């Protein structure tokens, strides 16, 4: 449906995965782990990231962007180290390629390796500029995208598709299946 949904859904999947992981290694209850979770985005991110964290009941830290309105690796590194010292568990970053306000690009090349090292799910919100990556000459703006766990863009913005339409790519769809699969009795029948 929307880029906002893509952010929300990926945040919930990342949350379910980290809770499962921490629970297995520590024995803490889900609620105790959830209370320690923290996610990140830049101060330029779309308001839907804040909304996703509100509905998902996790803390969100807005990180300052640089002079080009880009979120940089050093800024994330500092925040993650500080938060771990406080006993928090960093688990999700929503990076933006093409911010809504100024079409700024977060530095995925710097952010990606940090996320990998720290076990943080990097979602890329390319809602508005993402369609431009169809053109080879614009692909340089998504350098580092190979580090993303999920990526979303809106054909309903630049590809003349009716509202709502978001495309979402996942590196590993298993996390989404584990988070959202339900198995109700009324969908079970011999012709399944
Ligand atoms: C437009 C936009 C959104 C919101 O898109 P919806 O599909 O309306 O949820 C999110 N992020 C960015 C960067 C946008 O430009």
In a domain, 24, yes or no: yes
Distance (angstroms) between ligand 1 centre and the Cα of 100 equals: 7
Q: Residues lining ligand 1, judged by CB closer than 6 Å?
A: 2-4, 46, 48, 96, 99-100, 125, 127-128, 154, 164, 166
Give per-residue pLDDT as tens, 110-125.
999 999 999 999 999 9
Tell whether 190 is covered by a domain: no
Distance CA(150)–CA(145), nearest Å, equals 9
Q: Which domain holds residue 57?
A: 3-175
Q: What is the tens place of the pLDDT at every residue in 80-103?
A: 999 999 999 999 999 999 999 999
How is 44-108 classified by DSSP, letter by letter?
A: TS-HHHHHHHHHTT-EEEEEPP-TTS---HHHHHHHHHHHHHTT-EEEEEEEEBS-TTT--B--H
Tokens of 73: 């690796």
Predicted confidence at residue 192, as pLDDT, reads: 66
In the reported structure, the alpha carbon of residue 127 is separated from the centroid of ligand 1 by a whole-number distance in angstroms of 5
Residue 144 DSSP symbol: T
> Which regions of the chain are under pLDDT 70?
192
Element (H, E) at 117: helix 108-118
Do the domain assignments include residue 188?
A: no
Task: Indicate the pTM of the whole model.
Answer: 0.95
The confidence score (pLDDT) of residue 187 equals: 81
21 found inside a domain: yes
CA of 87 to the centre of ligand 1 (A): 32
């Amino acid at each position: 449906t929307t880029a906002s949904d893509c952010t929300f859904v990926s945040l919930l999947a990342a949350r379910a995965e980290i809770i499962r992981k921490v629970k297995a290694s520590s024995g803490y209850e889900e609620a105790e782990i959830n209370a320690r979770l923290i996610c990140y985005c830049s101060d330029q991110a779309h308001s839907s990231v804040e909304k996703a964290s509100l509905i998902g009941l996790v803390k969100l830290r807005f990180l300052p962007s640089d002079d080009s309105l880009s979120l940089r690796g050093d800024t994330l590194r500092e925040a993650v180290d500080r938060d771990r010292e406080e006993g928090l568990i960093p688990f999700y970053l929503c990076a933006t390629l093409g911010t809504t306000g100024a079409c700024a690009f977060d530095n995925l090349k710097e952010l990606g390796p940090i996320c990998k090292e720290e076990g943080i799910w990097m979602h890329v919100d390319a809602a508005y500029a993402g369609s431009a990556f169809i053109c080879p000459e614009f692909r340089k703006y998504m350098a580092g995208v190979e580090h993303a766990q999920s990526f979303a863009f809106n054909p309903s913005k630049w590809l003349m598709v009716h509202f709502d339409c978001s495309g979402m790519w996942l590196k590993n769809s298993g996390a989404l299946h584990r988070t959202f699969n339900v198995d109700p009795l009324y969908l079970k029948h011999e012709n399944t």
